[in-house]
Amino acid sequence: MVAYTLRRLGLMVVTVIGVTIVVFIAARLSGDVTYLIAPQDATPAELARIRTELGLDRPIWIQYWRFIEGLMSGDFGESIRYRRPAMELILSRLPATVQLAVTAFTISTVLGIWLGVASARRRGTWIDDLIRMGAVLGQSMPNFWIGTMAILLFAVVLGWLPTSGRDGWQHLVLPAATLGVFTMAAIMRITRSAMLQTMDTEYIKFLRVKGVPEGTIIWKHALRNSLIPVLALAGIQLGNLLGGTVIVETVFSWPGIGSVMIEAITNRDYPLIQAGVLLVSLLLISLNLIIDLLFAVIDPRIRYD
């Protein structure tokens, strides 16, 4: 287990270095920021002055090195547009996004697993058909449409929940539900198929032969044995949720990281893009580490490998 953890940590360091390179290059591929900040009739001399000011006149590897140097001392650079530390801007918006994504993730994973198990246990019945049909719908309806319809029904017609903004828990319900629908459907489907495979094994038969109650067989043995693919998918989905809140944040005017990032990209605000992407990546990499460690907790064969 110690060796396994160390190996994962080593891989994590390599991934982080890779992310810094990709982010750094991708930000600059969006175009030259100089033309966006300079006045339209700027002379070549003025453009050159702006480049020097931003350090963009140096060779690319020097720029990268200064970026890394900054990271080492916790300096993510200053937003070109807002003239404020990039990390500060990101951090002011990140909690809202994390709150939204984590709420959506938790609810959709728990419900998705529960529905998947229910569906597998009742394979071939109308309940199974109903749940599977719901999953297909959930995976085929786009976020913005679900969000708009949810606002229409629950906020406008029924008046149960607020339409937008971020205030109490009531404000969280609709955006989190909208964001979680796809994930819930995906988790449900993979849980169902993994459970069906597990339920067909000899060790489940032997548990029945021992007289173990059905509830124990399902929740203690079959579900745990089906959890590896579910968890792997959940990890990917969590990444999609964190990075993909933009649309839902727009529909519900949720003050998250999404609108800041879109703005940063259109403004070619390199430091802001770098800080945002890097932070979300770090979050994802840490979550993936946790999931890798959970694999080992679930399955002794991974632990003893």
Partner 1 sequence: MTDAAADLTDDALLRVEGLEVHLADRDGLRVVRAVNGVDFTLARGETVGIVGESGCGKSMTAMSLMRLLPASARIVDGAVSFAGEDLLAKSEAEMRRLRGQQIAMILQDPMVSLDPLYRIGDQMAEPLRIHKSMSGTALRSKLEALLRAVGISSPERRLRQYPHQMSGGMLQRIVGATAMSCDPLLLIADEPTTALDPTVQAQFLDLLDELKQRTGLSLLIITHDFGVAARLCDRVLVMYAGRIVEQAPVREIFDNPRHPYTQALLSTVPGRQHASGRRLRTIEGQPPDLADLPPGCSFAARCPKAQQRCHAEAPPELRLGDRHTVRCWYAMS
Residues that bind partner 1 (CB under 8 A): 123-124, 201-203, 205-213, 221, 224-225, 298-301, 304
Closest to 261 in 3D by CA, of 19, 22, 18, 27: 27
The token pair that represents 2 in the structure block = 């110690």
User: Taking the complex as a whole, how short is the minimal distance between the CB of residue 201 and partner 1, in angstroms?
Assistant: 7
User: Taking the complex as a whole, how short is the minimal distance between the CB of residue 200 and partner 1, in angstroms?
Assistant: 9
User: Taking the complex as a whole, how short is the minimal distance between the CB of residue 193 and partner 1, in angstroms?
Assistant: 17
User: Taking the complex as a whole, how short is the minimal distance between the CB of residue 122 and partner 1, in angstroms?
Assistant: 11
Choice between 50 and 212, CB closer to partner 1: 212
Closest to 112 in 3D by CA, of 172, 191, 176: 191
CA-CA distance, 34 to 23, in Å (whole number)? 19
Residue type, 240: N
Answer for the pair 164, 252: CB distance below 8 angstroms, yes or no.
yes
CA-CA distance, 85 to 104, in Å (whole number)? 30
- How far is C-alpha 186 from the chain's CA centre? 14
Choice between 167 and 200, CB closer to partner 1: 200
User: Taking the complex as a whole, how short is the minimal distance between the CB of residue 211 and partner 1, in angstroms?
Assistant: 4
User: Taking the complex as a whole, how short is the minimal distance between the CB of residue 301 and partner 1, in angstroms?
Assistant: 5
Choice between 71 and 296, CB closer to partner 1: 296
Answer for the pair 59, 245: CB distance below 8 angstroms, yes or no.
no
CA-CA distance, 22 to 12, in Å (whole number)? 15
**Eight-class DSSP state of 58:** S
Choice between 124 and 168, CB closer to partner 1: 124
Choice between 18 and 213, CB closer to partner 1: 213
Answer for the pair 200, 194: CB distance below 8 angstroms, yes or no.
no
Choice between 83 and 301, CB closer to partner 1: 301
Closest to 255 in 3D by CA, of 164, 147, 193: 164
Answer for the pair 243, 104: CB distance below 8 angstroms, yes or no.
no
Choice between 3 and 72, CB closer to partner 1: 3
User: Taking the complex as a whole, how short is the minimal distance between the CB of residue 105 and partner 1, in angstroms?
Assistant: 24
Closest to 16 in 3D by CA, of 298, 283, 297, 303: 283
